[in-house]
Amino acid sequence: MKEARVIELTNEAIASYYKEEIVSSDLTKAILYSVNAGGKRLRPLLFLLLLEGFGISLTEDHYPIAASLEMIHTGSLIHDDLPAMDDDDYRRGQLTNHKQFDEATAILAGDALFLDAFGLLATSSLPADKIVQLVKLLSDAAGSRGMVGGQMLDIKGEHQALEEADLVAIHSNKTGKLLKYPFLAAGIVSDLPKQDIERLGKAGQLIGLAFQVRDDILDVTADFSELGKTPKKDIVAEKTTYPSLFGLEQSISILNQSLDDALRIFEEFENSHQFDAQRIRTVIERLRLDA
């Protein structure tokens, strides 16, 4: 299936969830404001393309899984932009949720997306044991054992000179686990053995590292038109980043090496599982700075 169609069906899965049982139209408006603000849909796209790579034909049962992941991600962006967090006025080129509406509405919109994601995930008719695994996995990736825990480490790390191990702990949780999820989830849905799911998880971990290093680099090298948000925020917050710790040149090297290592894992899958890596390779290559 074409990539644009895959993204369209993921968006439709989210939109359909918010067409029914609306309690507060104001809340739904705020939720959809951020959901519809754009974004590459990288996480759901990785999940769905991985399934196709393993020869699985996408059905309506796969899109709630992909969409639930995007809902968690969007909720995290709403909260991340709040004054008590990163305090940004723009996201994806438009006013952040709390600037378009107000702080209380933005908090509730983020809360709703975090919780609604599991409601949508549960609508998939895949075998119940798989849904339970995916729910547990998504909770671990998003909550105190993953993204939210990493966000706390990130806040506590501001205005401090951190070591490499501290930086790895922040980013492997704040960013990495939610990017690792589509790889592990695809392995579960594809009925891969445990060791192969772990190899997919390693690829996801490498992609998560590359994504964060790239984000750190762009924060100091890109402008608003490229980022869609305020640049150089890490410098203002005195955050330890890959460029501040390793320098720009080595950070670029870390980014490229992480992507190369992830691509090698998929080359192995091509040989061992007749995995069609072409489309997933294209998505991964877009994370290079010169893409």
Report, as an integer, the average pLDDT of 90-105.
Answer: 96
Secondary structure string (H, E, C) spanning the chain:
CCHHHHHHHHHHHHHHHCCCCCCCHHHHHHHHHHHCCCCCCHHHHHHHHHHHHCCCCCCCCCHHHHHHHHHHHHHHHHHHCCCCCCCCCEECCEECHHHHCCHHHHHHHHHHHHHHHHHHHCCCCCCHHHHHHHHHHHHHHHCCCCHHHHHHHHHHCCCCCCCHHHHHHHHHHHHHHHHHHHHHHHHHHCCCCHHHHHHHHHHHHHHHHHHHHHHHHHHHHCCHHHHCCCCCHHHHCCCCCHHHHHCHHHHHHHHHHHHHHHHHHHHHHHHHHCCCCHHHHHHHHCCCCCC
Q: Would you list the domain boundaries of the chain?
A: 3-285
Report, as an integer, the average pLDDT of 273-290.
Answer: 94
Q: What is the topology classification, in CATH, of domain 3-285? A: Farnesyl Diphosphate Synthase (1.10.600)
Q: Above 90 in pLDDT, residue 170?
A: yes
Give pTM, 2 decimals: 0.94
Q: pLDDT at position 231, please?
A: 79
Report, as an integer, the average pLDDT of 254-261.
Answer: 97
Report, as an integer, the average pLDDT of 29-50.
Answer: 96
Report, as an integer, the average pLDDT of 210-233.
Answer: 86
Task: Give 267's pLDDT tier (boundaries 50, 70, 90).
Answer: very high
Write out pLDDT tens, residues 10-39.
999 999 999 988 899 999 999 999 999 988
